[in-house]
């Protein structure tokens, strides 16, 4: 069964600090990878996605993620965080179609708190 | 705003009751997905419908059921409610059925509290 691990439950940073959130997935085949963000009281929004091609993916709001197949990882990065980045971040993986588990498997999420 | 709408926003009910959550997908999207978000289980996929047909099933309890109507809106029915069913229920939609190279767009969710 596929699974997604997010290593940090809660990350606290000061503004302008650099961010890296870890994500590892278990599926060994071809995967599509996503990072979603959930701002307080809001719905999930897509930050970025990887389907194929360049393993360094750029998303919205200055976020990027790197797919490293050999490490089964898809870490999220931002060079300089802002207070408005305070949110919960979810990594998700979609495996090949037809799986009984459904189409999108989420990690438990990482809460990011940015201090002004 | 993702274009996915969900009603109601909040729902408070008692154990043993039945509720219906409603979702309207983005214009043009044929697939609807339901997810449950709880503190202990995180975000879990429940079920997917594509163009009126059940497409994939996840960790959905037998007390829960869903359907997608000809106008593509979907309803999630939760019955014999238990305290542990208290959660945020999200609906998402995508254009196609596979979910594989699809981007799912999420609605604002329905927060269910079972007392």
pLDDT tier for residue B100 given thresholds of 50, 70 and 90: low
The shortest C-alpha distance from A81 to chain B (Å) reads 23
Average pLDDT over residues B98-102: 66
Cβ separation B100–A95 shorter than 8 A: yes
* Ramachandran region, residue A61 (left: φ > 0; alpha: ψ -120 to 50; beta: rest): left
Residues in Cβ contact with A106 at an 8 Å cutoff, skipping those fewer than 6 apart: A4, A36, A90, A91, A92, B35, B42, B43, B44, B45
- Residue B25 is classified by DSSP as P
**Can you tell me whether residue A70 is helix, strand or coil?**
helix
Is the pLDDT at B84 greater than 70? The verdict is yes
Is the pLDDT at B91 greater than 90? The verdict is yes
Strand-pair partners of B76: B21, B66
The shortest C-alpha distance from A101 to chain B (Å) reads 5
pLDDT, residue A97, reads 56
CB B49, CB B55: distance < 8 Å: yes
Is the pLDDT at B114 greater than 70? The verdict is yes
Q: How far apart are CA B56 and CA B33, in angstroms?
A: 9
Residue B40 preceded by cis peptide, ω within 30 = no
Q: How far apart are CA A94 and CA B103, in angstroms?
A: 10
pLDDT, residue A98, reads 54
Cβ separation A103–B45 shorter than 8 A: yes
A32 membership: H or E segment, kind and range: strand A32-38
Closest to A103 (Cβ–Cβ): which among B2, B100, B109? B100
Q: Give chain B's mean pLDDT.
A: 92
Rounded to 5°, angle at Cα B67 from B63 and B71? 160
Beta strand A73-78 pairing with A87-94: unpaired
The CB-side HSE value for A61 (13 A sphere, CA atoms) comes to 17
At A49-81, the pLDDT tens digits run 998 899 999 999 999 999 999 999 999 999 999
pLDDT < 70 regions, chain A = 1, 28, 95-102
What B59-62 contacts at long range (C-beta under 8 Å, 24+ apart), as own/partner pairs, is: B60/B34
CA distances to A33, A100, A106, A108, B37 from A23, in Å: 10, 23, 10, 10, 19
């Amino acid at each position: 069964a596929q699974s997604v691990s997010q290593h940090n439950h809660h990350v606290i940073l000061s503004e302008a600090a650099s961010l890296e959130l870890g994500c590892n997935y278990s599926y060994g085949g071809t995967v599509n990878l996503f990072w979603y963000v959930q701002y307080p009281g809001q719905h999930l929004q897509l930050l970025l996605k990887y389907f194929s091609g360049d393993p360094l993916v750029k998303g919205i709001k200055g976020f990027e993620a790197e797919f490293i197949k050999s490490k089964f990882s898809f870490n999220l990065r931002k060079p300089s965080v802002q207070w408005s980045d305070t949110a919960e971040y979810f990594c998700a993986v979609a495996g090949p179609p037809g799986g009984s588990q459904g189409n999108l498997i989420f990690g438990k999420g990482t809460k990011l708190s940015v201090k002004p | 705003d993702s274009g996915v709408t969900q009603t109601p926003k909040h729902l408070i009910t008692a154990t043993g009751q039945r509720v219906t959550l409603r979702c309207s997908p983005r214009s043009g999207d044929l697939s609807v997905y339901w997810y449950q978000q709880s503190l202990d289980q995180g975000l879990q996929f429940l079920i997917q419908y594509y163009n009126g047909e059940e497409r994939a099933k996840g960790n959905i309890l037998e007390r829960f059921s869903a359907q997608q109507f000809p106008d593509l809106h979907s309803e999630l029915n939760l019955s014999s409610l238990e305290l542990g069913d208290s959660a945020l229920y999200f609906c998402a939609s995508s254009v196609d059925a596979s979910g594989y190279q699809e981007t799912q767009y999420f609605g604002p969710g329905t927060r269910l509290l079972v007392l």
